[in-house]
A and B are shown apart, each in its own frame.
Chain A
């Protein structure tokens, strides 16, 4: 079932990490909560018990794998906990120590499958912890090492839970690659279904009668079943976003401590579910946004008090589902972005003309331009000067969009919109210059018929009135085909990305279709306006338009080079 089947130990190690990494993260998470509760004078005994249980399981599992350094670390943390069990008065002062231990634990467990572990950091922690216990135990005897009370049984291979008499939901563990394979096969089935539908449509011109009607009914029923199958398949891939949010308590605490900030992390909507592929690739951009917020977005406690804000800053991570998209936000109540500085830097980079006067939204959108958001101050935790453009790229490759809003002195809010699934896309098919393109339906504000007179030329840019506002218009053939604009296109698709709208002139509207998204081969480079491709019912390929990029295209004339 696994490529590593030849090395059963490697497989076991991977399973160990899969099982224990969340556990170690939970230890850190619990500790952050405990620290707060202890400071408030609440002993939080029940939560403390949970912590001890997790540590014990980690110790046992690590021992089973012969990971002695992790075993010793978990054991030592248990010792500290046992000591604190007898000395509730010491709990608030020991939380920092335990949190350092949790940090080391998360790191070591995460690295366990990638070769031998160095015990330097765990040993440093252990001696620190011993010293703490010795200093604080005034004559009291140090707790004896925990006896092995339970045997831990390793679970191997795919494990099928049984539906017990108590009605517990049974679960089965499946290699994620099998699910991916299933999804791919489903995609091919859907394309075959589209082909069938097209063939039936062609036949319909010449054939009528009972037999044909039966065929149509059968096909319709097949399509409905496929739709349900899609839903069921997607459901197997949904993971709640809490698995990603879970890492942030510890991270925020570490980053805040290292930069002498006081930060409270608030998360909401952790139960929101997203496709596993999206979840897996979401962690990194979120880490960048959150660390950036803490390091650069938040003021020092003193500055905050001077500004009349609470000394403790708040960073909020939230997720909500809105129809077939998930909206994620990262909000801080820090100093906010400085539009003047962004504009100044954008001018330096030549991304905006010196005399242009972009709106505030347009200026904030420039924060995602390459090279703009890199701060001079580079810290180990914020990464190696990773800019917002990298974050925006990761979000875009997930079929998402990102925008930022900010109020100087009040804070900054990043809003990301992500598709629930990457596999199937509801789209509008359009014809441009003899090719067909799929436009993600979620980004289509309206499609309409237009006449030449409706398009006005302002400074060489097409503009039109749409719902009471002036929006830019581009000829799709010119953007996609690099050809000179023709003015005879009769349809306009208004696409949106955040607050931006752009009209796209096309030759024809070919209707709505669910398409199966396929990635483009890397040898095709990264076409800026194309996000992927799909196979249509007739077997031909259509490219999928990257609407966000298209809408942002040439906001100002000078911004063009940075998008190519």
Chain B
């Protein structure tokens, strides 16, 4: 497989798409067959695993900005960030996936996604690439991947030796549960 090993440095969504097109033109995109339908994915890493979300859901990828802690916020919320005048929650997705809270490194990124009609930032260890994956490479998740994650893992993509876990963003972010106000009265 001829994967692109270029670190993603671009931020805006348009730039992302341009980047992906460039990749495609250079023949670097991952393709199974010429005519096969493809999925356009953003791949990010958490710990030693790789996860993918549809590029259409990713609005921006930014370096980790100043994150302000919000007192008494739910544990999977790292805080809030300022994205050009908008205040977005930053989700600590690692804790959702059963990992330790993230240590910020120069490679850490915030992937800004749209979920439930709102913009939310997801803190990830690294954004590795944008790929096109043929439908045939996408298969139901093997048992060892599923176990406790069945609710937010939709599929996996096999790209050469790599296994990319495709996640169901709305479920993984758990926003629905959290936004339900506490019952007011019995």
A-to-B contact residues, CB < 8 Å:
187-188, 191, 370-371, 374, 385-387, 389-390, 393, 435, 479-482, 518, 520-530, 533, 535, 539-543, 564
Contacts and interface: CB of A to CB of B under 8 A. Distances in A.
Interface in B76-134: 77, 80-82, 85, 87-89, 91, 118, 120
A90 to B, nearest CB: 47
Given A389-B184, A390-B184, A540 B175 contact: no
B87 A518 contact: yes
B70 A520 contact: yes
Contacts of A530: 70-72
A214 to B, nearest CB: 28
Contacts of B68: 435, 533, 540-543
Given A385-B185, A389-B185, A529 B71 contact: yes
Contacts of A535: 82, 85, 87
B160 interface: no
Interface of B: 66, 68-74, 77, 80-82, 85, 87-89, 91, 118, 120, 173, 175, 178-179, 181-182, 184-186
A518 B119 CA distance: 15
A539 B87 contact: no
Contacts of A533: 68, 70, 80, 87
B184 A521 contact: no
Given A535-B87, A540-B68, A526 B181 contact: yes
Contact of A523 (B72, B82, B118): B118
A527 B87 contact: no
B175 to A, nearest CB: 4
Task: Find the residue from B70, B88, B179 having the highest chain A CB count within 10 A.
Answer: B70
Contact of B70 (A187, A371, A524): A524
Contacts of A564: 72
Contacts of A371: 185-186
B76 to A, nearest CB: 9
Nearest to A390: B184
Contacts of A543: 68, 70-71
Contacts of A539: 66, 82
Given A520-B70, A529-B72, A541 B87 contact: yes
B66 A540 contact: yes
Contacts of B185: 370-371, 374, 385-387, 389-390
A439 to B, nearest CB: 13
B73 A527 contact: yes
6 contacts: A389-B184, A480-B72, A518-B87, A520-B89, A523-B77, A540-B82
B168 to A, nearest CB: 17
Contacts of A370: 184-185
Contacts of A529: 71-72
A529 B80 CA distance: 16
A7 to B, nearest CB: 22
Given A533-B80, A539-B82, A541-B87, A524 B184 contact: no
Nearest to B73: A524
B77 A524 contact: yes
A148 to B, nearest CB: 47
A189 to B, nearest CB: 10
Task: Find the residue from A390, A521, A542 having the highest chain B CB count within 10 A.
Answer: A521
A521 B89 contact: yes
Contacts of A385: 185
A525 B74 contact: yes
Nearest to B81: A541
Task: Find the residue from B72, B91, B178, B186 having the highest chain A CB count within 10 A.
Answer: B72
A171 to B, nearest CB: 32
A479 B71 contact: yes
Contacts of A522: 118, 175, 178-179
Nearest to B67: A541
A535 B87 CA distance: 8
A541 B88 CA distance: 10
Contacts of B120: 521, 523
Nearest to B79: A541
A521 B118 contact: yes
B122 to A, nearest CB: 12
Contact of A393 (B69, B91, B184): B184
B12 to A, nearest CB: 18
A522 B180 CA distance: 8
Contacts of A523: 74, 77, 89, 91, 118, 120, 173, 175, 178-179
Given A188-B85, A518-B87, A541-B87, A527 B184 contact: no
Contacts of B91: 523
A389 B72 CA distance: 20
Contacts of B80: 520-521, 524, 533, 541
**Which 6 residue pairs are nearest across A and B when measured between Cβ atoms?**
A522-B179, A480-B71, A541-B68, A527-B72, A523-B175, A521-B89
A540 B173 CA distance: 24
Contacts of A482: 71-72
Contacts of A389: 184-185
Contact of A525 (B66, B87, B178): B178
B84 to A, nearest CB: 9
